[in-house]
Amino acid sequence: MIIQVKHICEPALKADGFRVLVDRAWPQAISRYDAQIDHWLKEVAPSADLRRWFGQLPERWDEFRRRYRLELADNTAVEELRSLIQGRLITLLYSARDSQRNNAMILARYLRDNPTAETAKRQARRVR
């Protein structure tokens, strides 16, 4: 499984493979045509409450990452994403300003660390 992460405003390339937007709301910075996405999976994004709490504050990053991983462990949309990935190159697209602290980075790592739902549930039990 090859997972890349890229900002939605970066130009689409063939090397991106299957492009999936993983934000809950459509980014204002780009038109749907220019984004050239293959799939929009908003259900896999952090909950609205978690996003509001985080507020892109760097000092909350570690806790945001922990809480989002717990959400992912119980999120059925992750299975949809896993089925899209099977055997393909995939690029997760995000719209946050911070290229190092965004939900797509967490999601990519989560998918690499937990290739199956059962593994994810075991990991989540250890974190709690």
Number of domains present in the structure of the chain: 1
Strands across the sheet containing 89-94: 2-7, 89-94, 18-21, 39-40
Is 102 exposed, middle or buried, given 0-12, 13-18 or 19+ CB atoms closer than 10 A?
buried
Domain that holds residue 38: 2-127
Per-residue pLDDT of 29-74, as tens digits, reads 899 899 999 999 999 999 999 999 999 999 999 999 999 999 999 9
Per-residue pLDDT of 5-17, as tens digits, reads 999 999 999 999 9
Whole-number pLDDT of residue 29: 83
